[in-house]
């Protein structure tokens, strides 16, 4: 269930907060690009820090929702967990601005 948007909260590290019926929270960072590859995705410093913290077990859970090829009739969804995003950051598969 959607709880709130943090898009305009400085250094939040995520865009949307969801809370299920049990009170478990999930932070989601949303990105949309015309590109066909994740290499063009740029996270802000606060988003990379939040992904890193979540990958080390600091709650709440954090995910990246990237929509690629947004300008086509067949956009691609890519959903990655915090540990996956940290690995992509380490390998240059996602960038930080």
pLDDT digits (tens, 9 = 90+) for 21-56: 999 999 999 999 999 999 999 999 999 999 999 999
pLDDT band at residue 7 using 50, 70 and 90 as cut-offs: confident
Residue spans of the domains in the chain: they are 2-96
Put simply, whether the predicted model's pTM sits higher than 0.85 gets the answer yes
Other C-beta atoms closer than 10 Å to the C-beta of 83 total: 15
Q: Which among 84, 25, 29 is positioned nearest to 60, based on CA atoms?
A: 25
Residue pLDDT, tens place only, 84-93: 999 999 999 9
**How many C-alpha atoms does 42 have within 13 Å on its Cβ side?**
3
What's the rounded Cα separation, in Å, for the pair 56 and 52?
Answer: 6
């Amino acid at each position: 269930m959607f709880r709130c948007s943090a898009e305009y909260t400085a250094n939040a590290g995520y865009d949307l907060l969801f809370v299920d019926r049990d009170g478990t929270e999930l932070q989601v960072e949303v990105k949309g690009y015309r590109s066909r590859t994740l290499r063009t995705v740029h996270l802000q410093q606060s988003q990379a820090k939040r992904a890193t913290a979540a990958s080390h077990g600091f709650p709440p859970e954090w995910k990246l929702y990237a929509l690629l090829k947004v300008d086509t009739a067949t956009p691609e969804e890519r959903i990655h967990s915090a540990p996956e995003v940290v690995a992509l950051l380490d390998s240059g598969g996602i960038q930080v601005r």
